[in-house]
A and B are shown apart, each in its own frame.
Chain A
Amino acid sequence: MQPLTNRSKLVVQKEMTFMERIYLPAILKGMAITLSHFFKKKNTVQYPEVQRPIAPVYRGKHVLKRDEQGRERCTACGLCAVACPAEAITMVAAERTKGEENLYREEKYAAVYEINQLRCIFCGLCEEACPKEAIFLTDVITPVETTRKEFVYGKDKLVEPLNQRIDVSKRQSWRMPEQQS
């Protein structure tokens, strides 16, 4: 048959020589290769004590931003969920009642907002679709959990805490320099 590439090799079943049959040279050769690796630079790092540098626009765990006054920006418009190629996002909207103006920025807000981190492919399309600059991907790596249920992140894990604001200015490169705060 005509070979597809010139890299193909013909397999022959020839008799092994005496040196090959005792296997000892081959074993020694292998041990030598293993031994040489003890003195080479390691490719791995001791995570989590040592962490690799990541790109400034790394796409990790999501955050639901609050505005300057600490109100949630998300208005549950559903554009992130419709943009999501993995269908990882679900939400339930609710109407803001009187007295909640300091909690939610718009008259509608997400009462439930869930991202399934097992489905998420961290493409960042939700962030791109968001008209309210509410959802961003951060440089935090999603932690390991022991059950599937725990990977469904609700608002408790997604909304940024009031006292620990998360800086996402690196991911807002579309903004004009004078608008950046």
Chain B
Amino acid sequence: MAKVTIDGHTIEVPDGTTILNAARMIGGNIVPPAMCYYSPLKGSGGKCRTCLVEVSKGSEKDPRPMPKLVASCSTPVMDGMEVKNTSSPRTLEARKGVVEFLLINHPLDCPVCDQAGECHLQDLAFEHGAAKTRYEFDRRTFDKIDIGPYIKLHMTRCILCYRCVYTADQITGSRMHGVMKRGDASEISTYIEKAIDNDFSGNVIDVCPVGALTDKTFRFKSRVWYTKPLDAHRECDKCCGKAVLWNVGDEIYRVTARKDQYGEAEEFICNTCRFEKKSMSDWIVEGPRKIDRHSVISANKYFEPVPEHTPLLNKA
């Protein structure tokens, strides 16, 4: 076990835990944002640099501070380590710079993008970014690519977090989807637009933190904040069948996996559940999904909080 202090909060975590996961165990606003790290995917993280934190004390044995900011998603904690996230102006300054870099090639077509409203880059830029860009050159552009009949790839919006590549590697059996070229020119590709035909390929939509990979069955149909999320499940022989339905009235506009507060899918769902079951008779609805009150998804919706154990329900 290792004792680590993050922004003044001390917690004991198992050896080998990363700073980011230790911060998530504490919770609250000291958790560094993460664009590329995705806990269900092995090897993810270390790409986007938004989770940079300052380590002001390396460990009990070697109390020297770390010279540079470290990526909290891939740095394991040491006993006695002291980490500064929101309490360090250096971190906040660096994060602002990282956001500016991520937005350099981002088209900022949020009014058109289907991800708007649940986009992590939007949240990140809103919380940490500068209001104006200093970039004066043309942004890199790519043509839109259809990955199979259900997924659309907008390479211009991609921030190269590699989450979808890891998903294709680890969740779906065979790898058909990767990153080609290098640096500024690197590009998510399906090896000459070869269709991903795998039962779990739709999960790349859920793991994408931006609107680079979007659901073609939901394309431009509605905005996220007009749809009402419902927890629902169905009997599925391929996956767990637990999903979130995004409804307008009784019509299912979109089906996604259930995501936790860090936007990570609790369980991946198969393509049949995601794309083909769009009728209310296919699903058993459990109830409205709890959405953070500050999210735009709960804008203009007034949910009445239902107590979990009402005496009436217990009697029946």
A positions within 8 Å CB-CB of B: 75-79, 81-82, 87, 93-95, 106-108, 131-132
Mark contacts of B98-120 with chain A using CB atoms, 8 A cut-off: 1 yes-contact digit, 0 otherwise: 00000000000111100010000
The answer, yes or no, to whether B261 is at the interface (CB within 8 Å) is no
Q: How many residues of B are counted as interface, with CB atoms below 8 angstroms from the partner's CB atoms?
A: 15
In contact, A77 and B112 (Cβ under 8 angstroms)? yes
In contact, A82 and B110 (Cβ under 8 angstroms)? no
Complex: A79 Cα to B111 Cα, angstroms: 8
Residue among A77, A82, A131 making CB contact with B300, cutoff 8 Å: A82
Complex: A115 Cα to B186 Cα, angstroms: 44
Given known contacts A82-B300, A87-B300, is B220 in contact with A131 (CB within 8 Å)?
A: no
The answer, yes or no, to whether B132 is at the interface (CB within 8 Å) is no
Mark contacts of B3-47 with chain A using CB atoms, 8 A cut-off: 1 yes-contact digit, 0 otherwise: 000000000000000000000000000000000000000000000
In contact, B226 and A75 (Cβ under 8 angstroms)? no
Complex: A76 Cα to B113 Cα, angstroms: 11
Q: Looking across the interface, which residue of chain A has its beta carbon closest to that of B144? A: A107
Complex: A75 Cα to B220 Cα, angstroms: 10
Residue among A77, A87, A132 making CB contact with B223, cutoff 8 Å: A77
Q: Chain A nearest CB: distance from B301 CB in Å?
A: 11
Residues of B within 8 A of A131 (CB): 110-111
In contact, B219 and A95 (Cβ under 8 angstroms)? yes
Q: Chain A nearest CB: distance from B132 CB in Å?
A: 13
The answer, yes or no, to whether B131 is at the interface (CB within 8 Å) is no
In contact, B111 and A132 (Cβ under 8 angstroms)? yes
Residues of A within 8 A of B109 (CB): 106
Q: Chain A nearest CB: distance from B210 CB in Å?
A: 16
Residues of A within 8 A of B219 (CB): 95
